[in-house]
Structure 1
């Protein structure tokens, strides 16, 4: 086969490469009921980590760190105890995953391109780090060596290219999540350079694909608890982490700085978009009943969040203190809108079992016993690409 291009589309949310890569693969199936139910239960919460006065934000849970939080009760446990989101490539239940060991690959394949092509021929996407110094479209091409987790979704032997997705530049303008074709020779250099760095945190190469047979339940109790967890929020002063609605406090702090990092503001904007999409899907499933004027509240939240984010461009150019104060007031008002929308949705979710108890955690339906975290079943061997070493990925 001289060409293979797996389906991808521009994702509805693209705050970082991990969200974007996963949704780019899932969203060709956006009309599937299970995809919608999966989306409903994810992208609910936010976290903001501020270790060295450089804020990082993300959806649902920090995937780079196992952070323990201290609730007022004095109980030490992970904030996202139950229900646990599955909004990353590494744990999304809509994906089948297999992992490749780098050392084993070197013994079987002549080049990384040969392995990628064979995996794509088996309808599996690939996701791993490469050195973007050698990628022509990268933000700092030929300026800086840096690794980036990249989605590989196709190849073309006639053109001699692999099809990649990542945040590409040029570095000084129009940086966005894009699909680009990269020459085999450049990709081999990018992979080999990364290989030399021996980053043991990303020693596996991940292959994955959409599972059309996976059933996703819609648990109203879990959804209601997750929404309440967001509206309550939490600030872990021990680890300098904000959770839920408390992330707006981090936004206020960021606005006090001279230099604004747009990324955390993108999360607030896209979180509002996810809320609007969630309400539309729940209405479609007849899980809630909202009047047209109530539905409009969620659309207004999304527009307000996008307007606040776009106003940052004016702030960056003008550095006007009066405008900065006005924008801070707008984000305070946005926080109140966000809370009101979440409370409206919580009130609309009827007949939801109280799935959470402080003493025992999430209980199994009908038992009252704490639910053990289910192990993900391995994909059938016949459905895996060749050269699979393990179907369990450690992140």
Structure 2
């Protein structure tokens, strides 16, 4: 076979490579909705990493019932003559290849030919005649996109990735699990997630249990404090957190509509409308942050801060109302 491209779709969450990878593979499957809506509720700021995430970020792919996952030590792929041969073998057997590659060698990244940076990359196809590898990643503008490069680029980017840390050196094979029984909505898990979000309660983390985090609505206070305390420096804002907060609201709208549809939420239309309003408000705030990074000024920073506090306060009221009816 000279060409094979596995199916990928535009993910509805993509702030993190993990969400983009997971959902680009399975988001066409309507069966995933109950699982998606039962998760992706709590948010956290990981102090040790200075990054904002959905909860259980580290093992969402591990626990997803619609994906089969196999993890390989990178040394095992030396059984193939080249990384190219390994990719072809995996794709031919309907496995997506998800692994860290060095962006220095891959066109389309801001680091291309400038600096080394290992980052998770999803490889989903190849074309031998065109000397092309198909992959997805957060590209130079931060957006999760489908792109291509040559086999030479991919070979070079793989050769650089040999580190002692397992999560970087491993290679993960992903395959859609079409035999999974339909997952039903987990009402108790949703309630627990909403309560943890509302009261900023610590979540259980079996992988990084010693990592310091800020949870739930307290994330807004933390972000607001960072903005307030750095006014004099006029810092560039990390767009990822604003995008995450917007995607969090976008998904809440979808969740409430689904819960209303299956009669798991009582008299939900007003809740859905308020959730939609917060979705729009979060999207506008994200765009304000984008504009601020192009043209920084204190007034814009103060406006962004006011919007964050407003969103946080309205979300608190919304969560209380949802919990009273679910």
Name the SS of the counterpart of 2:28 in structure 1: helix
Shift of 1:240: 4.7
Shift of 1:286: 2.5
Q: Which residue in 1 is equivalent to 2:109?
A: 138
Q: Which residue in 2 is equivalent to 1:150?
A: 121
Shift of 1:110: 0.7
Answering whether residue 28 of structure 2 is matched by residue 56 of structure 1, we say no
Q: TM-score, normalised by structure 2?
A: 0.89
Q: Which residue in 1 is equivalent to 2:81?
A: 110
Name the SS of the counterpart of 2:275 in structure 1: helix
Q: Structure 1: which 5+ runs fail to align?
A: 64-85, 350-395
Shift of 1:329: 1.8
> Contact 1:126 / 1:207 at 8 angstroms: preserved in 2?
yes
2:6, 2:38 → 1: CA distance? 26
> Contact 1:47 / 1:61 at 8 angstroms: preserved in 2?
no
> Contact 2:39 / 2:190 at 8 angstroms: preserved in 1?
no
After superposition, the C-alpha distances for 1:234-268 in whole angstroms (9 at most, x for unaligned) are: 479x9652101111112102322321111112111
Q: Which residue in 2 is equivalent to 1:288?
A: 265
Shift of 1:44: 0.2
Q: CA RMSD in A?
A: 2.1
Q: Rate the CA distance shift 1:91–1:139 in 2: closer, same or farther, 3 A.
A: farther
> Contact 1:120 / 1:153 at 8 angstroms: preserved in 2?
yes
2:306, 2:76 → 1: CA distance? 56
2:306, 2:97 → 1: CA distance? 44
After superposition, the C-alpha distances for 1:293-344 in whole angstroms (9 at most, x for unaligned) are: 4321111110011111111234334543344333222211100121222222
> Contact 1:126 / 1:205 at 8 angstroms: preserved in 2?
yes
Q: Which of the pair has more CA radius of gyration?
A: 1
Greater mean deviation of Cα atoms: 213-222 or 184-193? 213-222
> Contact 1:235 / 1:246 at 8 angstroms: preserved in 2?
no
> Contact 1:139 / 1:175 at 8 angstroms: preserved in 2?
no
Bigger proportion of residues as helix:
2
Of 55, 71, 78, which residue of structure 2 is paired with 1:99?
A: 71
1:101, 1:49 → 2: CA distance? 27
After superposition, the C-alpha distances for 1:4-26 in whole angstroms (9 at most, x for unaligned) are: 11111111011111111111111
Name the SS of the counterpart of 1:110 in structure 2: coil
> Contact 2:194 / 2:323 at 8 angstroms: preserved in 1?
yes
Show the 5 A alignment for 1:81-100: 88-100=60-72
Q: Which residue in 1 is equivalent to 2:245?
A: 268
Name the SS of the counterpart of 1:38 in structure 2: helix
Q: Which residue in 1 is equivalent to 2:33?
A: 36
For this pair of structures, how many residues does the alignment match?
314
